[in-house]
Amino acid sequence: MRARKRFGQHFLEPAWVAKVVDAIDPAPDDTFLEIGPGRGALTAALGPRVRRVIAVEIDRDLAAALPARVPPNVRLVQGDVLEVDLDALLRDEPVPVRVAGNLPYNVSSPILFRLLEAADEGRRIRDAVLMLQKEVADRLVAAPATEGYGALAIQVQLVADVDRLLVLPPGAFRPAPKVTSALVRLRFRAASTEVGDRAAFTRLVRGLFLRRRKTLLNALRPLVEPSGRSAKHVLERAGLTPSRRPETLTVDETARLARELCYSFPRKSLSPPNF
Ligand code: SAM
């Protein structure tokens, strides 16, 4: 069966399977949700070492071929991991579960955001060990004022500790992708700081980082001034220097700014037009 590009199919070569599964560090009582089992390279190695694997595969042909390749404690679900009802899927499983996946790179960001939501601060998903494009992995662990630091780092680091576990060359997969890959672990936990309204925080962070090299003042203006708030005043109250660049803001500082917007303008932040 040929690899389907539209599903981001790059299958892990056998020489790398043990290294990746060891890095996942499975335990006999663990229940895993595996994203995109493909031909079952990871699934077949993971299954015997854990309580159960629930594997969600979008490709009907691959999903149909999988039962013959994996142990009986693997439950296969044919579907899109961005659409499946995770509540229903995990209803009878002991939580928190763990997640593993060699992700389709074309949809890795939406999958990451879905996991951040679904993790429920580690109560429903304890951790996720994910194969990503190395560039995306670097963005997840980036520190303020470094290349790659941005909205993704802030949103992920707010609710997870992230470690890079392995770097894999293109030849670790077939067909080989054009990029280098990296395996990362996200350990979900309660948010490191309060951000007020979570959706407004996301809009603020994304909006600021669209203008990451402008001054904070100029980056904030289009986000708050249409609803009658002064960006200068908001920054003053949040204790942030207007001449700084958004790319230098730590998670805590971004949260401070979000709280200021959320709590000092409660009426406006109920239905914020641009924030
Ligand atoms: N786990 C296998 C391996 O390591 O060899 C396959 C990894 S391959 C990079 C990504 C897999 O995710 C493919 O099997 C692909 O069909 C599947 N996939 C792509 N998009 C998906 C989605 N939205 N939901 C579930 N599976 C998806």
Domains of the chain in start order, with CATH, are: 5-188 (3.40.50.150), 198-263 (1.10.8.100)
In short, whether 42's Cβ falls inside 6 Å of ligand 1 is: yes
Give pLDDT tens digits for 20-47. Answer: 999 999 999 999 999 999 999 999 999 9
Question: Ligand 1 center to residue 38 CA distance, Å?
Answer: 5
Choosing from 58, 81, 112 the residue with most ligand 1 atoms within 8 A of its CB, the one to mutate for a pocket test is 58
Residue identified by tokens 């890095």 is: 23
In the structure, what pLDDT confidence band is assigned to residue 271 with cuts at 50, 70 and 90? very low
In short, whether 38's Cβ falls inside 6 Å of ligand 1 is: yes
Could you tell me the two tokens for 148? 């790659």
Q: Which pLDDT score, from 0 to 100, does residue 227 have?
A: 85
Give pLDDT tens digits for 145-166. Answer: 999 999 999 999 999 999 999 9
Residue 107 Rama label (left phi>0; alpha psi -120 to 50; beta): alpha
From the CA atom positions of the chain, what is the Rg in Å? 21
Give pLDDT tens digits for 72-117. Answer: 999 999 999 999 999 999 999 999 999 999 999 999 999 999 999 9
Choosing from 57, 74, 99, 115 the residue with most ligand 1 atoms within 8 A of its CB, the one to mutate for a pocket test is 57
Choosing from 59, 106, 136, 166 the residue with most ligand 1 atoms within 8 A of its CB, the one to mutate for a pocket test is 59
Could you tell me the two tokens for 199? 């959706």
In short, whether 40's Cβ falls inside 6 Å of ligand 1 is: no
Could you tell me the two tokens for 177? 């992708």
Helix ranges, the chain (H): 14-24, 41-46, 60-65, 86-90, 108-118, 134-141, 151-159, 198-210, 216-224, 231-238, 251-264, 266-270
In short, whether 129's Cβ falls inside 6 Å of ligand 1 is: no
CA 34 to chain centroid, in Å, comes to: 14
- The residue length of the chain stands at 275
Question: Ligand 1 center to residue 116 CA distance, Å?
Answer: 19
Ligand 1 atom having least distance to the Cα of 12: 5
Could you tell me the two tokens for 52? 């159960």
In short, whether 177's Cβ falls inside 6 Å of ligand 1 is: no
CA 178 to chain centroid, in Å, comes to: 22
Could you tell me the two tokens for 252? 């805590």
